[in-house]
Amino acid sequence: MIEVIVSAAIQQEPYVTTVQARQHTITTDEPLALGGKDKGMNPFELLAASLATCTAATLKMYIDRKQWDVGGIHVEVKINYNKAESFTNFDRKISFADARLSEEALESLYGIANRCPVHKLLEGQIGITTIIRK
């Protein structure tokens, strides 16, 4: 079981949010077009970043165990959210700086990417419990 605790706080400046996880802090915001000041990624970008970074790290671990030389790993994630149909699709593109891998190795990496923990979490059943305090 994995437990993660993240907090987010907004003060006076609209939409600029300080996010804290363990000893790490990031700033998020909304784009100018939505009334923010574009001082950081928006929540959808953070969600896409979670899948992209988890995929890259999972692939790196596997590639290192196999002792393959692929150069760098690049993962791009695009979220397509259809609010009207309540459907979300994640398009993930993975490339390697030095892709001298066999088709068998690439197929293996495809399977590993699909087993990244964030990928599995997003495909699984998700529940959200909310408590509001004074």
Enumerate the domain spans of the chain: 1-40, 42-134
- Sequence letter at residue 115: R
Mean pLDDT, residues 17-42 taken together: 96
Mapping DSSP onto H, E and C, the string for the chain reads CCCCCCEEEECCCCCCEEEEECCEEEEECCCHHHCCCCCCECHHHHHHHHHHHHHHHHHHHHHHHHCCCCCCEEEEEEEEEECCCCEEEEEEEEEECCCCCCHHHHHHHHHHHCCCHHHHHHHCCCCCCCCCCC
Which structure tokens are listed for 50?
Answer: 């979670």
pLDDT at 42: 96
Q: Fold for domain 42-134?
A: GMP Synthetase; Chain A, domain 3 (3.30.300)
| CB-CB neighbours of 50 under 10 Å | 17
Q: Give 32's pLDDT tier (boundaries 50, 70, 90).
A: very high
Is pTM beyond 0.75 here? yes
Place of tokens 């993975």: 94
What is the overall mean pLDDT for the chain?
A: 95
pLDDT digits (tens, 9 = 90+) for 1-28: 889 999 999 999 999 999 999 999 999 9
pLDDT at 99 over 80: no
